[in-house]
Amino acid sequence: MQVPRTPAEKGFSRRTFLRTAGATAIAATGANALASCSSSSPTTTSLIASKLYPSADAQKLNDSFDWGKSSVADPKSSVTITVAHSWSPADFVRQQQFDYFFQKRHPNIKIVAENAGDSSADYLKKYSSQAAGGSLPDVMYNGFGFAQNFIGSGAFLALNDYISGEPNFNPSDFAEVSTGYYKRDGKQYSVPYDCGPVMIYYNKDIFAKAGVALPTAGWKFDDLRNAVLATTSGQGAGKVFGLSLPVTPVDTFWDPVRLSPLGGHYLSDDESQVLLDKPESIAAVEWWMDMYLQKGVFPSPSELQGMSQADAFALGRAAIKVDGSWGAPSLRDQAAFKWGIADWPAGPKGHSTAAVGSAYSITSKSKQQDAAWIYLNEYLSTSGQVFMFASTGKGNMTRKSAWPAYLKSDAAPEGANAIYNALNTYATSTGVVFGPATPQITNAVTPIWDQVMGKSLGVSDACKKIASTIQPLLKKNVAG
């Protein structure tokens, strides 16, 4: 299940003039251009509030926790640490509330919070540019998809010594699947803060109208297929789809979610070999695609264009959405129909789903690593996760001990117990594509799959073509 992977690049000779020229240019252009998309909050000296996060509630919640004490002593004089986040503007308010209370507890640690917005792509551009300019923050957010690039380049500090020296940290409290993305050579480089499994979201109204029983924990792949076929109906703008989004290899989770339960695989576990052209893998892909090719159970490219690329489930036009549990909060706020979450069904060859998330790291060149650890330890403690995730309805906490508060809250959707169950039992990182070659793989398979979706290329031929196209790209996953 675990994933020590190779980084994108390694072992370069030094060319100082190039580095200087490149760093200057990128830092000047990239960082300055992207700075306009981000916000920076100098040390928070007052309690910021919003309609979503009133100050009185925040104060009350904060006061209800025993925040404990780190084994690392607070600095004797004032120090400042910079923390990089990837929050939406609304959720950044909650972050600033946490920082305010943290600074009250640790008067000698000042926090400067940077927020690049909730686009991973923008975040990555900004902090890759800053890495090139040698100006990374002390603590930074990172996602499962790109953490290994930073780890491999030496940008993050191994946290094992801090973790082992912290009696109350309790590593076993973290869902096992959440930690693997941030390990390398036996060392842990990040503390995961959220991790969500891919689940079934279902539209109760559509199920009822079609007379189909709602998904249950005991569902099998055949139950899923029967429901998808039975709920697909209509034509044109009034068409209802059984599944909201296309089945595609661009989905980096499709191996553990769709193929592995049917006995197929996309890549080998170390992402060095393509397995999609094996007969069992082709059969697994055909199992899904036959439903599209014969009954149009999910939107075609032109149907997607007709919905402005929007999610048919959110529009109330699909019975089932296959998505990570992180999609629940936006559905809770926006859906105009009754919905629920259920376990991903078991296939004839096994039961698995993908679980992915994000984490925070301390950068290796930080001059305030102790202060950064005190912050990280508190931020991702049980209390910190309840403050940031359980109480806000986001869910997906990585600490098992933070889940009861969420499950008891009004914000937990119907089926939230299934998320917790999946995260700690059958969810896996095995088969999730996240090696350094992932973007190239995605862009290489897209044009091939366009032809399958356009019905000008058969599934079997497409799988073989994908295999021959991306096999050379996988060298990047094993380089160095």
Partner 1 sequence: MAQAAPTLELPGRRTRRTSPLARREARAFYGFASPWILGFILFGGGPVVAALLLSFAHWSLLSTPSWAGLANYRKMFADPLFYKSIGNTVYFGAGSVVLGVVTSFLLAILLNQKVRGLGFFRTVFYLPSVVAGVATAILWINILQPDSGLINSFLRFFGIKGPGWLVDEHWAIPGLILMSVWGAGNTIVIYLAGLQGISPTLYEAALLDGAGWWDRFWHVTVPMMSPVIFFNVVTSLIASLQAYTLVLVMTEGGPNNATLMLGLYIYRQAFEYFDMGYAAALSWAMFALIGVVTALQFVLARRWVHYDA
**Per CB under 8 A, does 237 bind partner 1?**
yes
Interface with partner 1 (CB under 8 A), residue from 40, 64, 164, 305: 305
Residue 239 CB, nearest approach to partner 1 (Å): 10
Residue 459 CB, nearest approach to partner 1 (Å): 16
Interface with partner 1 (CB under 8 A), residue from 106, 110, 125, 399: 125
Interface with partner 1 (CB under 8 A), residue from 15, 104, 338, 475: 15
**Per CB under 8 A, does 36 bind partner 1?**
no
Interface with partner 1 (CB under 8 A), residue from 6, 129, 248, 392: 129
Q: Annotate 19-61 with DSSP letters as a single string.
A: HHHHHHHHIIIIIHHHHTT-EEE----S----SSS-HHHHHHH
Query: Quick one: how far is CA 15 from the chain centroid?
Result: 36
Place of tokens 């897209």: 446
Size of the site for partner 1 (CB under 8 A): 50
CB neighbours (10 Å) of residue 265?
A: 21
Interface with partner 1 (CB under 8 A), residue from 236, 334, 336, 410: 236
Piece in contact with partner 1 (CB under 8 A), picked from 166-174, 203-211, 311-319, 442-450: 442-450
List phi, psi (to 5°) of 431: 95, -15
CA angle 421, 425, 427 (to 5 degrees): 95
Burial of 207 (0-12, 13-18, 19+ CB in 10 A): buried
List phi, psi (to 5°) of 168: -95, 5
Piece in contact with partner 1 (CB under 8 A), picked from 10-18, 196-204, 314-322, 392-400: 10-18
Strands (E), 62-103: 79-85
Interface with partner 1 (CB under 8 A), residue from 78, 268, 330, 443: 443
Contact 480, 9 (CB under 8 A): yes
Place of tokens 């109906």: 233
Strands (E), 292-370: 318-324, 339-342, 353-362
Looking at beta carbons only, is 37 or 47 nearer to partner 1?
A: 37
CB neighbours (10 Å) of residue 236?
A: 7
Can you tell me the distance from the alpha carbon of 68 to that of 337, in angstroms, rounded to the nearest whole number?
43
Interface with partner 1 (CB under 8 A), residue from 454, 455, 472, 475: 454
**Per CB under 8 A, does 14 bind partner 1?**
yes
Which residues are near partner 1 by CB under 8 A? 7-10, 12-15, 17-19, 21-22, 24-26, 28-29, 32, 121, 124-125, 128-129, 131-132, 149-150, 152-153, 155, 236-237, 300-303, 305-306, 308-309, 439-440, 443, 446-448, 450-451, 454
